[in-house]
Amino acid sequence: MHELSLIQSIIDIVREERVKHGMERVVRVRVVNGALSGAVSDALAFGWECLTQEGELKGVALDIVDQPLKVACGSCGLEFVPEDRHCMPCPACEEILGHDILSGKELYIDEIEADTPED
């Protein structure tokens, strides 16, 4: 389960950003997980739960936004969300190959919500 190492990397980044920006307490972390990223959202959530049971991130919510696969037809240019990520006939021209992936490969921290120290 490589999701544990992905979550560990996310935790490391959140900790760095917390220090860098003087965040008092992290409240929520939002992660975008693309359909082709290779990470399973449920496994990411489980990994987060396991690795944040103690320490400064204990109780911090993890929101995972599942980003669907979106492609542009390599023939006619139509942008569409295929029903199957292995066979993607264009709904307009029925071309199967040569599509450009517009979204769905991403895996990134979208937002870190935190309390900041009062001045």
- Per the domain annotation, does 73 fall within a domain? yes
**Cα(60)–Cα(9) distance, integer angstroms:** 16
- Per the domain annotation, does 47 fall within a domain? yes
How is the beta sheet containing 61-67 ordered, strand by strand?
A: 61-67, 25-34, 107-115
- Per the domain annotation, does 119 fall within a domain? no
Find the helix packing angle between 41-51 and 3-20, rounded to 10°.
60
Count how many domains the chain has.
1
| Site of tokens 């290779």 | 38
**Helix, strand or coil for residue 60?**
coil
**Token pair for 107:** 């895996």
CATH number, domain containing residue 64: 3.30.2320.80
> Structural domain of residue 13, as residue ranges?
3-114
pTM of the model as a whole: 0.87
- Per the domain annotation, does 104 fall within a domain? yes
- Segment 9-46, tens digit of pLDDT: 999 999 999 999 999 999 999 999 999 999 999 999 99
94 has pLDDT over 60: yes
- Per the domain annotation, does 102 fall within a domain? yes
Q: How far apart are the first and last CA of the chain?
A: 43
